[in-house]
Structure formats: structure tokens, C-alpha cells
């Protein structure tokens, strides 16, 4: 089953072929075994709203099954960043807010960050390195050289770019694409869900290559619904409620006037916004049976997300955020340098959580686009 890119007004300009891999459906949830599988990719489009090209698959309400949670032992070590909150290896440690290190150090990190591996930067420079556990530097570099380098550099509205523009913060719109009711108790958890996923990704960025943000602050600023009666609250305590504001295909959305990156710009004119401007959308969708992600946000199966809403990492939400950072899917064997490429959350179904492989690919993206920024 393939989800194609939507025709929302907010995203009508997303026609670049270089973005096709970041905007297509990459998860399908089977009802029989709650198993996450990949779908065959094809270029995303901007002129089709069809949610699926075949009969929809009923979504599971259970957490997707993990195919393999142990990294292969051939070609890459299974030892990785064991502590997801703070993994400090032996060696000279940087100060908590420091972004440069002595080049003789190895596997150092800032507080709350993943280890830096074998540092390759010179003395006094922003620290960069190569992995020395879990995944090889050769495998990480292969992914950049053969895949990401073809589409990442020309595009300038990745989550990296939005975070730099916003000084480490993101505002979210919740698009409740469902005819089912949503309670305030559940809705109040969405912001924490997003903050946990971004914390897990930022764990790999803190202190690396002078990345300046030790925390990413996500705030939900609006809820878009078909009918306000679907919500059991009426005040704006969770953000502005937009009832009946829809895109060209009848899907609830926060107003275009409030979309900060309309036209994929760094800062669109939001002077006509009567609420709070937003950067991205979390888009829980009834009976979607999968997920999609890009610089515009994350579209996920509503039932699957709600079933795992209290988990530390929500596999599909975290995966789709990875696309917003520029990371690819792994549909084919040709998407990897070898069969023993270690498991990662971007390889749908292989890991329920972000792994060292994901983290080092994320770091490579930062290394190659850092020249855009002044830090």
C-alpha cells in the first residue's frame, strides 16, 4: 500500500523530485500480526489525495512487531550507545555547553549526548567523528555518498533548518483527521509525545559539529478538527481550536495564514494569523494503516499512535520525524551497502527505537549542510 503526497494548500509547492523519498508512505500495519512492513516506493505527487492505491489495510491497535532488535555481528559491532539519555565514554570530556574538543580525544560527548566515536576534527574545531561501535564509518558514508547526497543538499526546509530559524523550538498543529471523538485527557499528551521523539533524535546532535541546541522545545499551538463537537473541551488551553478549516480535499488543517513555512520558506508572512503560527503538523488519520513524513510534519495512523501514546518512543512517529531530518527509507537490498547493515528505525520494522545507525546518519546530514548556518 502506498500513500501519495497530499494536495493540501500548505504543501502544494512540494514538487521537487529530490523530496520524493521523504514524503511517501513507508509503513503499512497489518491487522493479522501487527507487523510493520515496507511498501514499494515511487515518486510522491502533489496532485493526488488518494490515501491508498489499493484497499486500505485495517490498522492494528498494537505496537508494531519488531523484526529484529539485535544488530548483525558481521561487519559492524552490536555495541552502541547503551544509555539513551547520557552515554559518556572514557576520554577527555567537553564542557556541557562546549562544541569543540581536543582532537586527541575519543568517544567523548557533551552531557546528555551520544558518544562522539573516533574524533576526526582538528584541535579547536567543531567536533565531528566516526562511529567505532555498532555501525562502521564506511557504511554511514556509503549511505550519504550513494543516497542522501543526491537530494539533501539542495533542499532548505528540513527540520534542521526550522530549528535554526526558531532557535531550537518548533510549533505544531494537530490535524485530527478522524470522525471519532478526542478527549482532552488524550489530546493533552500529544505535546509530550512530540518532545520525547525530538529528544531522542537530538540525543545524537547535542554538541556534535557545534550543534547549539541541547534541548528542542516543541509546543502544540492548535488543533484542527472537522467539527468542534468531536472534542470534549472548548477553551484554548491546548492551543487554538480550528473547526471546519479544511484543505482543498476536505481534510482539517490549521490556517494557511499561520503556516510559517508556506512555500517552503524559512519564515513566511504570518501577520494575518489570528492564532499562533506553526512549523509542522502531527496528522493522526483514521484507518490510515501506515505513516508518511517530511518537512511539513508526520502523518500517522490514529489508532496505532493512541495505542502507544505513553511509550518513550513511538516507532512510526519517530521514523517519520527522521524523514523530516532528511533520512531515507530502506525498501530494497540496494539501499544498503551490505546485508549486515545494522538495524535502525529508518529501516521500517527492524527496530522500534532510534539506534546508533540512525544517529550517525543524522550526524552526517548535519556535517554536510552545516555551512548554511552561522554556528
DSSP string, 32-57: TT-BEE--------SS---S-SSSPP
Note the pLDDT of residue 230.
Answer: 98
Let me know if 179 is exposed, middle or buried by CB neighbors in 10 A (0-12, 13-18, 19+).
exposed
Q: Are 220 and 226 in contact (CB under 8 A)?
A: no
- Looking only at the bridges linking them, the beta strands covering 297-301 and 240-243 are unpaired
- Looking only at the bridges linking them, the beta strands covering 280-285 and 297-301 are parallel
Note the pLDDT of residue 80.
Answer: 53
Q: What is the mean pLDDT of residues 253-281?
A: 98
What is this structure's pTM?
Answer: 0.77
Note the pLDDT of residue 112.
Answer: 80
For residue 59, what are the CA distances in angstroms to 38, 174, 304, 307?
A: 14, 20, 7, 11
For 305, the grid coordinates are 499512535
Q: What percent of the chain has pLDDT over 70?
A: 70
Is residue 12 over pLDDT 60? no
What's the pLDDT tens digit per position in 269-319? Answer: 999 999 999 999 999 999 999 999 999 999 999 999 999 999 999 999 999
What's the pLDDT tens digit per position in 93-147? Answer: 333 333 444 433 445 566 689 999 999 999 999 999 999 999 999 999 999 999 9
- What backbone torsions phi and psi does residue 363 show, to the nearest 5 degrees? -65, -35
Q: Which helix H or strand E contains 364, and what residues bound it?
A: helix 356-369
Q: What is the mean pLDDT of residues 8-37?
A: 41
Q: Are 154 and 19 in contact (CB under 8 A)?
A: no
Note the pLDDT of residue 304.
Answer: 97
Q: Are 329 and 38 in contact (CB under 8 A)?
A: yes
Per the prediction, the chain carries an average pLDDT of 80
Note the pLDDT of residue 34.
Answer: 39
Is residue 5 over pLDDT 70? no
Note the pLDDT of residue 111.
Answer: 67
Note the pLDDT of residue 89.
Answer: 29
Lowest mean pLDDT among 47-61, 160-174, 207-221, 232-246: 47-61
Note the pLDDT of residue 16.
Answer: 38
Contacts of 109 by beta carbon, 8 Å cutoff, 6+ apart: 87, 88, 89, 93, 94, 115, 116, 206, 207
Report the Cα 201 to chain-centroid distance in Å: 8
Note the pLDDT of residue 72.
Answer: 32
DSSP, res 220: E
Q: How far apart are CA 173 and CA 258, in angstroms?
A: 10
The three-point CA angle 264-270-276 to 5° equals: 105
310 beta partners: none
Q: Are 197 and 78 in contact (CB under 8 A)?
A: no
Q: What is the mean pLDDT of residues 9-37?
A: 41
Amino acid at each position: 500500500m502506498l500513500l501519495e503526497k497530499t494536495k493540501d494548500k500548505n504543501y502544494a509547492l512540494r514538487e521537487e523530485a529530490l523530496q520524493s523519498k521523504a514524503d511517501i508512505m513507508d509503513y503499512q500495519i497489518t491487522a493479522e500480526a501487527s507487523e510493520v512492513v515496507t511498501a514499494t516506493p515511487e515518486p510522491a505527487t502533489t496532485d493526488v489525495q488518494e490515501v491508498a492505491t489499493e484497499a486500505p489495510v485495517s490498522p492494528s491497535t498494537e505496537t508494531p512487531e519488531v523484526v529484529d532488535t539485535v544488530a548483525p555481528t558481521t561487519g559492524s559491532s552490536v555495541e552502541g550507545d547503551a544509555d539513551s539519555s547520557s552515554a559518556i565514554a572514557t576520554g577527555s570530556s567537553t564542557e556541557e555547553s562546549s562544541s569543540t574538543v581536543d582532537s586527541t580525544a575519543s568517544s567523548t560527548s557533551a552531557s546528555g549526548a551520544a558518544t562522539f566515536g573516533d574524533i576526526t576534527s582538528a584541535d579547536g574545531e567543531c567536533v565531528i567523528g566516526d562511529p567505532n561501535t555498532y555501525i562502521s564509518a564506511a557504511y554511514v558514508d556509503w549511505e550519504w555518498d550513494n543516497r542522501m547526497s543526491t537530494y539533501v543538499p539542495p533542499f532548505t526546509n528540513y527540520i534542521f533548518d526550522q530549528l535554526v530559524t526558531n532557535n531550537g523550538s518548533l510549533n505544531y498543529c494537530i490535524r485530527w483527521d478522524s470522525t471519532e471523538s478526542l478527549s482532552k485527557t488524550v489530546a493533552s499528551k500529544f505535546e509530550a509525545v512530540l518532545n520525547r521523539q525530538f529528544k531522542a533524535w537530538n540525543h545524537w546532535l547535542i554538541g556534535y559539529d557545534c550543534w547549539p541546541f541541547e534541548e528542542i522545545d516543541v509546543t502544540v499551538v492548535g488543533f484542527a478538527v472537522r467539527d468542534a463537537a468531536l472534542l470534549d473541551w472548548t477553551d484554548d488551553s491546548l492551543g487554538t481550536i480550528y473547526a471546519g478549516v479544511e484543505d482543498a480535499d476536505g481534510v482539517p488543517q490549521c490556517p494557511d495564514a499561520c503556516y510559517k513555512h508556506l512555500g517552503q520558506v524559512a519564515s513566511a508572512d504570518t501577520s494575518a494569523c489570528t492564532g499562533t503560527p506553526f512549523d509542522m503538523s502531527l496528522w493522526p488519520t483514521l484507518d490510515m494503516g501506515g505513516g508518511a513524513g517530511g518537512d511539513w510534519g508526520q502523518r500517522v495512523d490514529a489508532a496505532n499512535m493512541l495505542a502507544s501514546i505513553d511509550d518513550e518512543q513511538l516507532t512510526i512517529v519517530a521514523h517519520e520525524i527522521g524523514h523530516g531530518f532528511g533520512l531515507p527509507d530502506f525498501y530494497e537490498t540496494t539501499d544498503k551497502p551490505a546485508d549486515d547493515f545494522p538495524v535502525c528505525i529508518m529501516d521500517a520494522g527492524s527496530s522500534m527505537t532510534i539506534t546508533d545507525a540512525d544517529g550517525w546518519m543524522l550526524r552526517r546530514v548535519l556535517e554536510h549542510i552545516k555551512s548554511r548556518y552561522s554556528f
